[in-house]
């Protein structure tokens, strides 16, 4: 059973088609689908952030910087 919002979106798209034609209907439907996808993605990312560990277990390995890191960037006048 569709929700009230689903019915409202379908009705609105049908009104657009009747009033403005097929091209406007297609454009509005495509934009509605993009908006729905963005909202779903944002919610999925919020949920994933809540479940993600605050700290990833493991070791940090420090790499030596060598001369370029100590004296400046490679290709600069200093390095």
Q: How many domains does the chain have?
A: 1
Is residue 79, in this structure, part of any structural domain at all? no
pLDDT tens for residues 4-39? 999 999 999 999 999 999 999 999 999 999 999 999
Is 13 inside a domain boundary? yes
The set of long-range contacts for 68-73, using a CB threshold of 8 Å and a minimum separation of 24, is none
pLDDT bucket at 79, cuts 50 / 70 / 90:
very low
How far is CA 17 from each of CA 12, 35, 79, rounded to the nearest angstrom?
A: 9, 19, 65
| Cα radius of gyration rounded to whole Å, the chain | 26
Domain with 36 in it: 4-54
């Amino acid at each position: 059973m569709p929700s009230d919002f689903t019915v409202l979106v379908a009705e609105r798209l049908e009104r657009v088609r009747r009033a403005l034609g097929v091209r406007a209907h297609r454009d509005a439907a495509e934009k509605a689908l993009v908006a729905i996808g963005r909202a779903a993605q944002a919610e999925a990312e919020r949920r994933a952030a809540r479940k993600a560990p605050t700290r990833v277990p493991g070791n940090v390995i420090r790499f030596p910087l060598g001369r370029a890191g100590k004296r400046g960037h490679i290709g600069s006048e200093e390095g």
